[in-house]
Amino acid sequence: MHIDGIAALVTGGGSGLGEATGRELAKRGARVTLLDLGRSRGAEVAADIGSQALFVEGDVTSPEQVGAALEQTLERFGPLRALVNCAGIGSASRTVGKNGVPFDLDVFRRSIEVNLIGTFNCIRLAAAKMIENEVDAGGERGAIVNTASVAAFEGQIGQAAYSASKGGVVGMTLPIARDLARHAVRVCTIAPGLFDTPLLGLMPEEMRQALGASVPFPSRLGDPAEYASLACQIVENAMLNGETIRLDGAIRMQPR
């Protein structure tokens, strides 16, 4: 699929991986809707990109808000051809804390609700729009890129909720790709390792350097632009389908 001229929706587009992806898609000629919470920098990012970007405030767990973002995208930019799901949250808590208190079940539910159900909510609603498209020159109607994490495979101590949510994203990638294959819509997932996102930006510089040094090669934190480049490659490459791709510098996470 040629990116130039297509309409794309990026969730979590106000910062980190989503912002980088929105910027890269626009750089390659796409018209991009950034979906994020009102407290995000989404409006600022869209304004900086220019007329080919639109910010829509919304929560990925809300069918109504995601549906509204899709309608605004179609109205402003035309048929939706690409969706990149970057919205997500983190959590850290042991199953039973040192004080003997069990993991807060509401925290677990919220992680699943945003990272897994929110991702699927966006997929199902965007796919319903994509299958109405005319096929392009390559015979495609759309491409969907999801974001998991290496924690889906090597969750660390305290990551039960986060790993479960991201493992769910990995687990549903192939069946959804198979579901949508007859509609000529592709689905892939990226599983990033340690990336220089706002979450890690809150850590002391010494800790950030230590995390980067733990990556075999390149021994540094990933750049969100590197995620964005792979997301665009997935959109462009018709043979990438049903796959989860690790983007991690060969790291394998230790228990802690």
Phi and psi torsions of 113, nearest 5°: -60, -45
Cα radius of gyration (the chain):
18
Q: In sequence order, what are the residues at sequence separation of 6 or more whose Cβ sits closer than 8 angstroms to the Cβ of residue 71? A: none
Q: And the tokens for 191? A: 């599983």
Q: Which of 108, 162, 195, 227 is catalytic?
A: 162
Cα(217)–Cα(214) distance, rounded to whole angstroms?
9
DSSP 117: I
Please choose, from the candidates 13, 125, 107, 25, the residue with its C-alpha nearest in 3D space to the C-alpha of residue 67: 125
**Cβ contact 103:94 at 8 Å:** yes
Q: And the tokens for 169? A: 């994203």
DSSP 84: E
> DSSP letter string over 123-136?
HHHHHHHHTTSPP-
How far are the Cα atoms of 18, 54, 119, 255 from residue 111, in angstroms, in the given order?
A: 18, 27, 11, 20
Q: Would residue 227 show up in a list of annotated catalytic residues for this protein?
A: no
What angle, rounded to 10 degrees, do the helices at 118-130 and 63-77 form? 40
Active site residues: 162
